[in-house]
A and B are shown apart, each in its own frame.
Chain A
Amino acid sequence: MEPVITRKQLEADLTELKRMVLRLGKMAEESISKAIWALKNQDAELARMVLAKDDDIDDLAEALDNACMHFAARFQPLGEDLRAVTSIMHMAVDLERIGDYGGNIAKVAVELADKELIKPLIDIPRMLDVLSAMMSKALVAFDTNNAEMAKEVFAMDDLMDDLEKQIMRELLLLMMERPQRIEQATQLLNVARTLERGGDHVTNVAERVIYILTGKTVKASAFRRPRPATPYAHKEHEER
């Protein structure tokens, strides 16, 4: 008996899974971008819209998870198909988490909407820009089966770390100057932290894309500049 894999049906379903991933990615990216915008522009309205959309992202992630299970049950995929479906399940988790981060930031934005900001936000939006670029790179790499492009994502994560550290230094100075700023500074610090974590999740997505395409498990750290041990090295290790 020859293997009866209806390649055509399988590919159609796989394409649908991919489309769902891209849509989820787009929603997550939108969530986090809008949240940062709301924070920067103190737009409580926009922040509430982000929070309202959080459920949609969760629903889509769950639907994607189910679709993956159905795909596995129907085709019992092997090889690249198997890597794709298991990776997509992981990617759904990562992307959903990024969406959640958007929600977390939006909550901060709501709180800070009617308060005076301790400083104009510059580096946080820059982190967002990097994160958005990483996300779109990872997703395009996924969409176009481009492992090389996925690898480019890793180096960009260095930039995220740099920005986070810079923000941290700056906020520490502000806090030392005037302890009343501590509350807000801590919140902003958390936002930067959240963005940095978002970067880690995008890195996971990129790793998965490479795994699907090559069958090799890559460590993002292999593509990043060597770093001395920092308090974050430990945390990063956990996240992988």
Chain B
Amino acid sequence: MEKILVSSRGVNLFYDSARVLKDITFDIMEKQVTALIGPSGCGKSSFLRCINRMNDFIPSARVEGEILVGGSDIYAGGVDVIALRRNVGMVFQKPNPFPMSIYDNVAYGPRLHGIKQKDRLDDIVKQSLVGAALWDEVKDKLKTPGTGLSGGQQQRLCIARAIATEPEILLMDEPTSALDPMATARIEELVRELKKRYTVVIVTHNMQQAARISDRTAFFLMGDLVEYDATPKMFTSPEDKRTEDYITGRFG
């Protein structure tokens, strides 16, 4: 029933000579929500950015080890990074819709990948907005700027934009840290919905959030993966003392 979709094998990440991830080895299951938690600077976001190779943009960054997505190593030579990123969507900490219309925001990815027919784009835009639980709120103003929406709506627009390329995996880097509680609740609700179709990997500082929405939780500390287990287990009776200390707020 559970199928491995992403498999990290001995991943080390270096910024120059600093080792920010140390031998990270674990499997992310298909169509589950996996939360990455840990104090600031523990490497959880860096790890997230390894999965769609966003660390490529940091000149000093170097990755060792393998990350298998659907069985093939994304760090092997000759990998099509553009195809990878199309398959691994990402949602960022701050809602960042492009300064263009709602429609164009969602159509951005499909257009990049060569879809030009108006009716196909219309369809993708609608499906993506429906998928991101935003359609009803914006269907009458698709031509208005995406940046005119509220923060929570903007973030859902970014989710719609990310799923418009029909990815398998959605990476979310603290997607609610800039939102108010109501908007946060809607995103969380959406994440639970999204996992029916996508594999979600979410970085969060909010442990209650990780507890609420994730199936599995990985706890990172100073570049190490300390513990990885089913979420209920992690938040009631973790195996490692450091996890216990972190989730009870003794440090971090």
Complex: A in contact with B (CB within 8 Å): yes
Q: Are A81 and B39 in contact (CB under 8 A)?
A: no
Task: Provide the A1-20 mask, 1 if CB < 8 A to any CB of B, else 0.
Answer: 11101010010000000000
Instruction: Establish whether residues B237 and A215, one from each chain, have CB atoms under 8 Å apart when the complex forms.
Output: yes
Also in contact, A79 and B252, with CB within 8 A (given A1-B206, A3-B206, A3-B207)? no
Considering only CB atoms, which chain B residue lies closest to A10 in the complex? Answer: B249
A residues less than 8 Å from B208 (CB atoms):
76, 78
Query: A162 an interface residue at 8 Å Cβ cutoff?
Result: no
Which of A7, A10, A78, A211 touches B207 (beta carbons < 8 Å)?
A78
- The reply to whether B238 and A3 form a contact with Cβ atoms under 8 Å apart is no
A216 at interface, CB cutoff 8 A: yes
CB of B156 within 8 A of chain A?
no
A48 lies within 8 A of chain B by Cβ: no
- When distances are taken between beta carbons in the complex, the residues of chain A under 8 Å from B244 are 79-80, 215
- CB-based contact A215/B236 at 8 Å: yes
A1 touches B205 (CB 8 A): yes
Give the shortest distance, in Å, between A43 (CB) and chain B (any CB).
47
| Complex interface bits, B230-248 against A, C-beta within 8 A gives 1, otherwise 0 | 0000011111000110011
Judge whether A82 and B235 touch: CB under 8 Å: yes
Chain B residues with CB under 8 Å of A2's CB are 39-40, 205, 252
Asked if A83 CB lies within 8 Å of chain B CBs, one says yes
- B37 vs chain A, min Cβ distance (A): 9
Contact B39 A79 (CB under 8 A): no
Instruction: Report which of A3, A10, A78, A215 forms a contact with B252, defined as CB distance below 8 A.
Output: A3
In this assembly, does A77 line the interface, its C-beta being within 8 Å of a C-beta of chain B? yes
- Contact yes or no, B248 A78, CB < 8 A: yes
Contact B248 A81 (CB under 8 A): yes
CA distance A79 to B208 in the complex (A): 11
B1 CB to closest chain A CB, in angstroms? 25
Q: Is B237 a contact of A216 with CB atoms below 8 Å?
A: yes
- Residue picked from B177, B238, B239, B248, most chain A C-beta under 10 Å: B248
Query: What's the tally of chain B residues with a CB closer than 8 Å to chain A?
Result: 20
* Contact among B177, B205, B236, B250 for A83, CB-based, below 8 A: B236
Q: Nearest-CB distance from B28 to chain A (Å)? A: 22
How far apart are the CA atoms of A80 and B205 in the complex, in Å?
Answer: 19
Number of interface residues of A (CB under 8 A): 18
Flag whether B211 is at the interface (Cβ < 8 A). yes
Name the interface residues of A6-42: CB closer than 8 Å to any CB of B.
Answer: 7, 10
Are A79 and B40 touching (Cβ within 8 A)?
no
Complex interface: chain B residues within 8 A of A10 (CB): 249
Query: Which residues from 81 to 113 on chain A have a C-beta closer than 8 Å to any C-beta of chain B?
Result: 81-83
Partner of A3, one of B236, B237, B243, B249: B249
Taking CB atoms, residues of chain B closer than 8 Å to A216 are 237
Q: What residues of A have a CB within 8 angstroms of the CB of B238 in the complex?
A: 79, 215
Q: Which residues of A contact B236 (CB under 8 A)?
A: 78-79, 82-83, 215
- Which chain B residues border A81 with CB–CB below 8 Å? 248
A197-240 CB contact bits vs B (8 Å, 1 = yes)?
A: 00000000000000100111000000000000000000000000
Which residue of B177, B211, B237, B249 contacts A5 across the interface (Cβ within 8 Å)?
B249
Question: How many angstroms from the CA of A214 to the CA of B244 in the assembled complex?
Answer: 10
What residues of A have a CB within 8 angstroms of the CB of B211 in the complex?
Answer: 78
- A1 lies within 8 A of B177 (CB): yes
What residue in chain A is nearest B37 (Cβ atoms)? A3
B205 with A3: CB separation less than 8 A:
yes
Taking a contact as CB atoms closer than 8 A, the residue among A1, A7, A215 that contacts B249 in the complex is A7
Contact B235 A78 (CB under 8 A): yes
27 A-B residue pairs with Cβ-Cβ distance under 8 Å, sorted by A, are A1-B205, A2-B39, A2-B40, A3-B249, A3-B252, A5-B248, A7-B249, A7-B250, A10-B249, A76-B208, A77-B248, A78-B211, A78-B235, A78-B236, A79-B235, A79-B243, A79-B244, A79-B247, A80-B244, A80-B248, A81-B248, A82-B235, A82-B236, A83-B236, A83-B237, A215-B237, A215-B244
B contacts, CB < 8 Å to A: 39-40, 177, 205-208, 211, 235-239, 243-244, 247-250, 252
Q: A3-B205, A77-B248, A78-B235 are in contact. List 5 more A-B contacts (CB 8 A).
A: A5-B248, A78-B208, A79-B238, A79-B244, A83-B237
| Pairs A-B, 8 closest by C-beta atoms | A215-B237, A5-B249, A79-B247, A78-B247, A79-B248, A78-B235, A79-B244, A1-B205
